[in-house]
Amino acid sequence: MRGPHNIIRLIRTGATFERTGAMGVILDAFDAPAPLRIAARVLAWPFKWLGHKGDPSMPPAVRALNALGPAYIKFGQILSTRPDVVGDDMAQELRVLQDKLPAFSIEEAKAQVTSELGIPVGEVFSEFSEPVAAASIAQVHKATLCETGETVAVKVLRPGIERAFRVDIDAFYFAAGFIEFFSPSSRRLRPTDVITHFEGVVNGELDLRLEAAAASEFASNTKDDEGFQLPTVKWGYSGRRVMTMGWAEGVPLGDNAALDAAGHDRVALSERVLQLFLNHALRDGFFHADMHQGNLKVAANGDIIAYDFGIMGHIDEYTRRVYAEILFGFIQRDYLRVAQVHFEAGYVPADQDVDEFARALRAVGEPIFGMDATRISMGKLLSYLFEVTERFGMQTRTELILLQRTMVVVEGVARSLDPHMNIWTVAQPVVEDYIKTSIGPKAVARDMALTAKVLARFGPRLPGLVETALIRQTQTPDTGPTYPRLKKLAWLGGGVVLGALITILASSL
């Protein structure tokens, strides 16, 4: 229900931040301006008594987000990958939201497994451990299959998680509608559409059969990727609320001390994690969209192991090419081309000035090149990017939300491994390779081949379709068939056939 009762939920959110002491901590982390600090404290303080108390043993921000529920925890997970935005100390505190949240009992987990699989746990697993990781939506148990003796990870959804998310999302919808009504300028950000997108992502996470399917597809796409591993889905032991996969043995990617002790090259790992993401996004159009440290390990041989496939991103071929051209333009410091691509793709309204937009992009890109990454303030950069989008009337592209969010997260993960990493230098070989294979002559030939395949499916119906089109186009209410128009259509028909022949020839090259 998206009614006014959600006002209480939103007030309680602010009150929880105030009661737990998280309000001041978060405002400090974001270096919020004085007016915002004063307004936030004045509005939240009178309702402090309504806020959730949370777990006093937790740091303030973690305590507040954990008390508010899974949707807020998701936000905290993103911030945990950005020490350059919230500071090293807070980022480290928020890491517990990735996989170290309070777990539910092993008895509840076993009951769910038995209910989902229709077989008692003891008949499926000879061993079933206490939770080894617990996140916002599910927790994981280490187990051993009776049939094969293989060690596996059993993921079990939290009891009541569907309702918990429903409550949060309803409140978010209400807040989005409130913002759009009272702040017309915010409508370009499409708050309601963003929440709808978020709701779709969450619903996908709440059905582990979909996650298993995503993991299977991802494994098929990446089977030849060097230095990358995925655990195997055990379909016979999986269902809507339970998923079983092979056990991923390795060092957590977020534990730099353990990585160093194991002799892993963190600089190489930082480059690989970013390049893997770009390869998956550009080459396959299907990528892991929740690549924080809690979902990544490093195997003994140095391979990166990814798991937890509840959030996967998909982008079509056209969007991939646009995204690659934008990245490539930044790498080449060709800001005019980057601006032109934004206009061509419709990301910027046509009535804006392309040269002005190019200059604004230059102000974004130039400070990054040749500068040590530790000296780049990502917080200030993101703030300026927001100003640019507002100035040029750019609307939120919901189809790019996961891509953009994951890019921010992955870059944060990479920089946590190597604070001096420069995203553009590392991205260059991957983007250049994609440009060569997907935007050059080979890509044109491949597109024409695909067009030919589509035309071929209509081959038997083509004469009838052409005849019907000719009759419709040459008839007028008063005079009937018109010879000049028929002649033009004959030339057009010949052009279509010639184009199809050229396409077929090109596909055979």
- What residues are annotated to the active site? 290
Contacts (Cβ under 8 Å, ≥6 apart) of 171:
6, 9, 10, 13
CA 62, 64, 67, 68 torsion: positive or negative? Answer: negative
Distance of alpha carbon 306 from alpha carbon 211, whole angstroms: 13
Integer angstrom CA distances of residue 37 from 18, 33, 79, 182: 12, 6, 19, 21
Distance of alpha carbon 317 from alpha carbon 447, whole angstroms: 11
In this structure, how many other beta carbons lie within 10 angstroms of the beta carbon of residue 484? 8
Question: Burial code of 32-60, b = ≥16 C-beta within 10 A, e = fewer?
Answer: eeeeeeeebeeebeebeebbbebeeebbb
Query: CA-CA-CA-CA torsion for 461, 463, 469, 471, nearest 10 degrees?
Result: -130
Tell me the helices (H) and strands (E) count for the chain, helix number first. 24, 10
Structure tokens at 255: 């534990």
Mutual angle of helices 34-44 and 6-19, in 10-degree steps: 110
β-strand 296-298 against 304-306: which pairing, if any?
Answer: antiparallel
| DSSP H helical ranges for 395-482 | 401-417, 423-438, 441-457, 462-474
Structure tokens at 99: 């996989």
Q: Identify whether the C-beta of residue 298 lies closer than 8 Å to the C-beta of residue 269.
A: yes
